[in-house]
């Protein structure tokens, strides 16, 4: 994810989040600045729900980007070791296990998910 797209994503998340917070705290207020855009105070709840849903969706994109960048950084930091292990004929599963064990990973659900994601990113690594 490039930095401009990341900036836009964070900007949207913050601005829509502030609007969501304002609409939640001022739902039904006749003096709310939303009266210009939403004349009926009954619809404030829908504005609050819609903006909250948008923040929730944008949050998924933010966390997906962070997750992706983290795995790419791990692979870039270990690229020499990965290439040497591949020359020895070691599979991506075993490479992922060795990287995760070096990071202190043990068993469990999070370990299995991290291993699956790491194997996917290793398969695209040349």
For 39-72, how does the pLDDT look when each residue is reduced to its tens digit (9 = 90+)?
888 888 999 999 999 999 999 988 888 888 888 8
- Examine residue 10 and state whether it is found in any structural domain, yes or no: yes
Residues 33, 55 share a domain: yes
Which of the four pLDDT bands, split at 50, 70 and 90, describes residue 1? low
Residues 32, 85 share a domain: no
- Examine residue 72 and state whether it is found in any structural domain, yes or no: no
**pLDDT score at 67:** 81
- The tally of domains found in the chain comes to 2
- Examine residue 116 and state whether it is found in any structural domain, yes or no: yes
Residues 52, 22 share a domain: yes
- Examine residue 106 and state whether it is found in any structural domain, yes or no: yes
**pLDDT score at 48:** 92
Residues 48, 95 share a domain: no
Domain that residue 46 falls in: 1-66
pLDDT tens digits along 67-93 = 888 888 888 888 888 899 899 998 888
From 66, 87, 106, give the residue that closes a domain.
66
**pLDDT score at 17:** 94
pTM: 0.66
The full 3-state SS of the chain, as one line of letters, equals: CCHHHHHHHHHHHHHHHHHHHHHHHCCCCCCCHHHHCCCCHHHHHHHHHHHHHHHHHHHHHHHHHHHHHHHHHHHHHCHHHHHHHHHCCCCHHHHHHHHHHHCCCCCCHHHHHHHHHHHHHHHHCC
Residues 40, 95 share a domain: no
């Amino acid at each position: 994810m490039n930095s401009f797209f990341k900036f836009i994503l964070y900007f949207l998340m913050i601005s829509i989040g502030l609007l969501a917070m304002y609409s939640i705290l001022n739902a039904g207020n006749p003096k709310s600045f939303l009266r210009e855009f939403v004349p009926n105070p009954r619809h404030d709840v829908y504005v609050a729900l819609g903006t909250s849903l948008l923040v929730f969706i944008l949050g998924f994109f933010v966390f997906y980007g962070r997750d992706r960048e983290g795995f790419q950084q791990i692979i870039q930091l270990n690229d020499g070791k990965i290439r040497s292990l591949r020359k020895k004929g070691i599979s991506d599963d075993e490479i992922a296990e060795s990287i995760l064990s070096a990071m202190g990973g043990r068993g469990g659900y999070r370990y299995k998910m991290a291993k699956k994601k790491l194997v996917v990113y290793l398969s695209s690594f040349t």
